[in-house]
A and B are shown apart, each in its own frame.
Chain A
């Protein structure tokens, strides 16, 4: 990734909603291999849309997250719990028969939970085999 175009103008820091509670953080440090907490990003894309160099600090944050996870980052348990639910049920939350009952009560049609769950098993298995 070509990060050298960052002029450290500070626009991303100023516009980031997290700046208000983390005023000392310099967001552009991301582009200069300085340590920055990649989990402090609410993914609002304000930095991406306002960077005069058309860089995306937001996307860079997510790239650093992936690198950390790939290197066995401890502390991602909550994240991995969400991923497990996604793989098993197709949603980040424990959608089940109660969900369909609530839908019924509102007059909404039911989800095909079985098809969703089988589809997700196939999908993640197909991705895994494609890679290997």
Chain B
């Protein structure tokens, strides 16, 4: 297996700690993730709103770049990237636009070659594959017994037509399975499976603001100490927006649970340090340290 991580633009620009903590987990599992320095954005939703053909070609280009490095397992961190890469892959494999798009890519010396051994998946899918999931359990060093709420990333597992063999609960089971390994207890959160609403903040901020306010209220009700994300769009909703834009959430009494990437929580349970997981740059690092030090029996 030749593996590479596809970070996408939001992780690259705002959340390199998600990428870093993903590499840390791979390393603990004895796997090497190849770094591809020329991947671009997947174009999700923005380019799709303007030019669908360019959208498919852009994702096909990223797939072709991966293949040109000999990669056969491409692991995306973002829900939207997962969706775009899988959709382009399917469209290219179904053949209709393969030659047309390869003609465009050919001018850069690139070609996407349909290959049944070339796989694209979200990192939750990757880490819960048979063998790896069990290995994470075996390598576990520490119980991270905190209370968490989970936000499922919509585009990582939907539409189901891009995920043969999965049912509508598969992804949620896998994500919860990984969180269970860490020793964290999962609180009921009304929007766990109902979309973070994050992309609306980009397309119609007023509607987005009303959507996320509902989620913040439910999150505070959940009793969780942390909200666990598996997509940078969700991290914008729970980490960036309530602090940078809607400043009322900065006040101590209205503070939301700290937002973490699931890879950071899994990394902690595998014994990785705060700094290698990018947690030293977290806005709530003081609170996080305190919580980790004071948790039961630690």
B108 interface neighbour in A17, A46, A102, A119, Cβ under 8 Å: A119
Contact B49 A86 (CB under 8 A): no
Report the separation of the CA atoms of residues A49 and B68 in the bound assembly, to the nearest whole angstrom. Answer: 34
Contact B51 A95 (CB under 8 A): no
B107 interface neighbour in A41, A56, A109, A122, Cβ under 8 Å: A122
Contact B40 A120 (CB under 8 A): yes
B10 interface neighbour in A40, A62, A86, A93, Cβ under 8 Å: A93
Residues of chain B within 8 A of A40, CB atoms compared: 200, 203-204, 207
- Binary CB contact string for chain A from 25 to 68 against chain B (1 if under 8 A, 0 otherwise): 00000000000000111111110110000001000001001100
Residues of chain B within 8 A of A20, CB atoms compared: 211, 214
Instruction: Say yes or no: is A4 at the interface (Cβ < 8 Å to chain B).
Output: no
Contact A69 B49 (CB under 8 A): yes
B160 to chain A, nearest CB (A): 5
B102 to chain A, nearest CB (A): 11
Q: Helix, strand, loop or mixed for chain B's interface?
A: helix
Report the separation of the CA atoms of residues A43 and B203 in the bound assembly, to the nearest whole angstrom. Answer: 11
Instruction: Say yes or no: is B291 at the interface (Cβ < 8 Å to chain A).
Output: no
Given A21-B211, A83-B50, A92-B46, does the pair A130, B104 have CB atoms closer than 8 Å?
A: yes
**Nearest residue in B to A112 (C-beta to C-beta)?**
B37
Residues of chain B within 8 A of A76, CB atoms compared: 49
**Nearest residue in B to A109 (C-beta to C-beta)?**
B35
Counting chain B CB atoms within 10 Å of each CB, which of A56, A82, A106, A110 scores highest?
Answer: A106
* Residues of B in contact, count (CB < 8 Å): 61
Contact B202 A119 (CB under 8 A): no
Residues of chain A within 8 A of B43, CB atoms compared: 86
Inter-chain contact total with CB atoms closer than 8 Å: 157
A102 interface neighbour in B16, B50, B199, Cβ under 8 Å: B16
Residues of chain A within 8 A of B83, CB atoms compared: 45
* Residues of A in contact, count (CB < 8 Å): 53
Report the separation of the CA atoms of residues A95 and B38 in the bound assembly, to the nearest whole angstrom. Answer: 13
Report the separation of the CA atoms of residues A21 and B211 in the bound assembly, to the nearest whole angstrom. Answer: 7
Residues of chain B within 8 A of A93, CB atoms compared: 9-10, 12-14
Instruction: Say yes or no: is B282 at the interface (Cβ < 8 Å to chain A).
Output: no
Contact A66 B50 (CB under 8 A): yes
Given A43-B199, A86-B43, does the pair A95, B49 have CB atoms closer than 8 Å?
A: no
Instruction: Say yes or no: is B154 at the interface (Cβ < 8 Å to chain A).
Output: yes
Report the separation of the CA atoms of residues A49 and B105 in the bound assembly, to the nearest whole angstrom. Answer: 32
Given A108-B19, A126-B104, does the pair A99, B12 have CB atoms closer than 8 Å?
A: yes
Given A18-B211, A42-B200, A46-B158, does the pair A62, B278 have CB atoms closer than 8 Å?
A: no
Given A20-B214, A62-B49, A79-B49, does the pair A127, B197 have CB atoms closer than 8 Å?
A: no
Instruction: Say yes or no: is B168 at the interface (Cβ < 8 Å to chain A).
Output: yes
Report the separation of the CA atoms of residues A41 and B49 in the bound assembly, to the nearest whole angstrom. Answer: 11
Contact A44 B47 (CB under 8 A): no
Contact B13 A79 (CB under 8 A): no
Stretch at the interface among B53-61, B129-137, B173-181: B53-61
Given A40-B207, A106-B20, does the pair A56, B13 have CB atoms closer than 8 Å?
A: no
Contact residues of A between 70 and 94, Cβ < 8 Å to B: 76, 78-80, 82-83, 86, 90-94
Query: Measuring CB to CB, which residues of chain B are less than 8 angstroms from any residue of chain A?
Result: 9-10, 12-14, 16-17, 19-20, 23, 35, 37-41, 43, 45-54, 57-58, 61, 80, 83, 100, 103-105, 107-108, 154-155, 158-161, 168, 194-195, 197-200, 202-204, 207, 210-211, 214, 276, 278, 281
Q: Can you list 13 contacts pairing A with B, beta carbon distance less than 8 Å?
A: A40-B204, A42-B197, A43-B80, A43-B154, A44-B194, A45-B154, A106-B20, A107-B20, A108-B19, A112-B38, A115-B38, A116-B38, A126-B107
Query: Measuring CB to CB, which residues of chain A are less than 8 angstroms from any residue of chain B?
Result: 17-18, 20-22, 39-46, 48-49, 56, 62, 65-66, 69, 76, 78-80, 82-83, 86, 90-95, 99, 102-103, 106-112, 115-116, 119-120, 122-124, 126-127, 130
